[in-house]
Chain A
Amino acid sequence: MSNVPALVVEGLGHRFGARRVLKDVSFSIAPGDFTVLLGLNGAGKTTLFSLATRLYAQAEGTIRIFGMDIREQMLECLRQMGIVFQQPTLDLDLSVEQNLFYHCALHGLAHREAARRMAAEIDRVGLTDQRQEKARRLSGGQRRRVEIARALLHQPRLLLLDEPTVGLDIASRQFMLDHVRRLCREQGLAALWATHLIDEVGEGARVVVLHKGEVLADGAAAQLLGEMRAPSMRAVFETLVQEREAA
């Protein structure tokens, strides 16, 4: 496995007009890490993802994907990333297969290779029987599975997931968590999972706690629990936020 960090964020800042939404955010993710970006609504998680994917142009700080500056080598960086957005992005007028072929075409995959990868990814998320269904007819959980399959078609080395379990039931949420963790373990995929749900922070995960645009903590979940002598991640999070609010 390469030693180059999958994602390095240094001194990242962003404003919407006069309102600062990210301030001096710094953290890194190694290949094979499953990292949870934990923060309340409005913490800046989606803004950070938008900057990392160049949906927004960054003005402050640097973002490097496998050592490449995203401002200078944007296309190559995007090639290394798979993204699952908070908002569903499937074309509802197309079938599952058509949506996936479209994504493969955008990433320059030949039709035969695209068909092979698509069959494998659809099978992995358990939607082989629904491949001809229009995306409109799928449930929320099924659409999310298709989005995860789509994000992996071009074999990215870094997976960004922005609140991917929003609106899903417990079983679907657990499926997605287990699936992504398995990918990190077995394929060395680096994953950054943004969420406001503390129970999605598993034992082996790294956690970056983001609050009102600032990083409050960055480390392994077990390490944070030990350092703060807290019984749970919820207690860690609440303590960090209270200390920050009091400062």
Chain B
Amino acid sequence: MANREWLRFLNQRGRFFSALVRPLVWLAIFAAGFHFVLGVSIIPPYETYVPYAVYIAPGLIAMILMFNGMLSSLSMVYDREMGSIRILMVSPLPRWFLLAAKLYGSPEVSGHECAFHLQPRFASRHHL
């Protein structure tokens, strides 16, 4: 079921590109644009200024998780309306397992997406 979430994430072009573009807009445009304008002054335990791009990282993660969670829930509703959820319901697997697997799929995709978007941040922190 997690594989199916991945396949749907990759095959639904609109969802895939919006999932990529949405955080990249914040990172590439807003964060880069505000890099020399906005920043958080030195607050313990930090010993240097916190650049805006680092400052928005937690919010970015929250945004990725929120949108992926929302789209995953919508896809569950879509599955129910289109009938494809019946294939799950008549499979020889316990219902609790089906729910757990369904709930696992979306966070796995979200986690990888967060890791993908955070990689430039980790790289840039090493160079700071």
Contact = CB atoms under 8 A, between A and B. Distances in A.
Interface string A89-111: 11111100010001101111000
Interface in B80-98: 82-84, 86-94
Given A91-B79, A94-B7, A98-B4, 7 more contacts: A78-B91, A79-B92, A93-B11, A94-B4, A94-B11, A103-B91, A107-B91
A87 B80 CA distance: 11
A107 B92 contact: yes
B4 A91 contact: yes
Given A87-B83, A90-B84, A94-B11, A102 B90 contact: no
A75 interface: yes
B15 to A, nearest CB: 10
A53 interface: yes
Interface string A193-205: 0000000000000
Contact of A75 (B11, B12, B79, B93): B93
Contacts of B4: 91, 94, 98, 102
B7 A75 contact: no
Interface residues of A, number: 26
A81 interface: yes
A79 B12 CA distance: 31
B35 interface: no
A88 interface: yes
A81 B89 CA distance: 13
Interface in B90-118: 90-94
Given A93-B7, A98-B7, A55 B92 contact: no
Contact of B84 (A78, A79, A89, A107): A89
Contacts of B119: none
A108 B91 CA distance: 10
Nearest to A92: B82
Contacts of B84: 89-91
Nearest to B93: A106
A24 interface: no
A108 B8 CA distance: 21
A83 interface: yes
Contact of B92 (A78, A87, A98): A78
Contact of A105 (B3, B8, B94): B3
B92 A76 contact: yes
B90 A78 contact: yes
A54 B7 contact: no
A85 interface: yes
A54 B3 CA distance: 26
Contacts of A98: 4, 7
Contacts of A53: 89-90
Interface string A1-36: 000000000000000000000000000000000000
Given A75-B94, A88-B83, A90-B84, A55 B89 contact: yes
B84 to A, nearest CB: 5
B93 to A, nearest CB: 6
A90 B4 CA distance: 12
